[in-house]
Amino acid sequence: MRGRVAKRIGLAIVGAGRVGLFRGEVAARHPQVDWIGIAEKNPERAKLVADKIGADFVTADYRELLKRPEVTAVIVATDEHLHVDPIMAALERSLPMMIEKPLATDLAASARVLKAITEAKVDAVVGYTQRFRRRWLAAKEKVRTGQLGDVTLVTSRAFMNRLVAIDNYKRTDQPEKISPMVISGTHALDIVMWMMEAKTPTEVYARSVNKALGPEYKGIDATSGVISFSDGAMYQATISWALPVVWPGAVYSLDVGIVGTDGVLTIDDTHRDIVLATSHTAGKGEGYAPDSTRRVDFMGSYPPGDMALGELRGPMREETESWLNRIALDLPTQHATAAEAHKNLMLTKAFDLSAKRKTIVQLPLDPGEIDL
């Protein structure tokens, strides 16, 4: 903005996995980022990422990194169940943060983190990357400006092959904390709740099935249910992350329908517009190690975007650049807030709780009543 002095940024990245690398590469190209430090437990991975992004400091201890005087902003990109401790450590210095979703995998811990963020008055946003894709922004604008009238019904159907589920279940010793709704269905739910942000959810009724992933991983295959709102509106959500590995969608295929009193909006986000068929292993750049039988890929279905000509192209790049501009220039952005992320977790937990109890769950959900 004309006349505004941009702040310089010293960036700490906690967790140098796929997302840490993607965001680090974007940050390394940002004109306001002067310094980048990495905290990563795996020394080989830490060196690989540090070399790629030209990191100035590398450690296995996130506390050592967050104490560095150069650090003025933090990206928390650890595994989902390891977010809480680095968030709380960053709050000790009131550092602005971008946190990969969710705040925590446990609702009580998420409530504790949200309370600490609120009390510290820290600018903390959560990585719901799909908010930065043009189709969802266009849909949000149509709903926001009343083009559909009063929204009465929304449906979403998310299909994923089981690579993501297996990856998550292998990385945790608490499979009961991992579910398709909490880890992946939350992306569709965030988009829908963003569209319906003026409405108050009152109850959830859901069912789950666990025939494919249950025997080996003690996991859930799919969940489907309905959120009811105080004004009578409904949101029907279905998520399955147990499709066969040969399913062409590398990660996410989504259909959304939004019906209002004066209009309807349908969004095909299944990524069937660009289909790759190859004699080589499909999707080498997708971020997961695909089964050797995969030969067809819906390109664009990996949520962060695609690597092209040596750079990440897509929503995670735009989200990261937007956040860095937010820090440097105090610009407003469409990032999910910590409060919105906690609400999303509460709703996904309510889906799982309703499916487990086979009964309606009233909202808002008290963290103390969770028995998952």
Q: Are residues 161 and 283 in the same domain?
A: yes
Q: Are residues 144 and 240 in the same domain?
A: yes
Q: Are residues 181 and 268 in the same domain?
A: yes
User: Is residue 1, in this structure, part of any structural domain at all?
Assistant: no
CATH number of the domain enclosing 80: 3.40.50.720
Counted domains in the chain = 2
Higher pLDDT, 143 or 286: 143
Position 33 scores a pLDDT of: 98
**Pairing state of beta strands 9-14 and 73-76?**
parallel
User: Is residue 308, in this structure, part of any structural domain at all?
Assistant: no
Positive or negative, the Cα torsion across 312, 318, 323, 326?
Answer: positive
Q: Are residues 99 and 225 in the same domain?
A: no
Q: Which residues contact 138 (CB under 8 A, 6 or more apart)?
A: none
Q: Which residues contact 191 (CB under 8 A, 6 or more apart)?
A: 128, 130, 131, 136, 156, 256
Q: Which domain holds residue 69?
A: 9-130+319-337
CA distances, 85 to each of 32, 77, 103, 178 (Å): 27, 12, 10, 19
Percentage with pLDDT > 70 across the chain: 94
Query: Picking from 48-62, 63-77, 269-283, which range would have the lowest pLDDT averaged per residue?
Result: 269-283
Where is 48: in which H helix or E strand? helix 43-53
Three-state SS annotation for 284-352: CCCCCCCCCCCCEEECCCCCCCEEECCEEECHHHHHHHHHHHHHHHCCCCCCEEHHHHHHHHHHHHHHH
CATH number of the domain enclosing 275: 3.30.360.10
Res. 286: pLDDT tops 50: no
User: Is residue 161, in this structure, part of any structural domain at all?
Assistant: yes
Mean pLDDT over 198-206 rounds to 97
User: Is residue 365, in this structure, part of any structural domain at all?
Assistant: no
Position 287 scores a pLDDT of: 46
Q: Are residues 144 and 269 in the same domain?
A: yes
User: Is residue 314, in this structure, part of any structural domain at all?
Assistant: no
User: Is residue 16, in this structure, part of any structural domain at all?
Assistant: yes
Structure tokens belonging to residue 28: 């390394």
Q: Give the pTM.
A: 0.92
| Three-class SS state of 8 | coil
Q: Are residues 26 and 172 in the same domain?
A: no
Res. 247: pLDDT tops 70: yes
User: Is residue 91, in this structure, part of any structural domain at all?
Assistant: yes
Quick one: how far is CA 178 from the chain centroid?
14
Res. 120: pLDDT tops 60: yes
Where is 243: in which H helix or E strand? strand 234-243
User: Is residue 366, in this structure, part of any structural domain at all?
Assistant: no
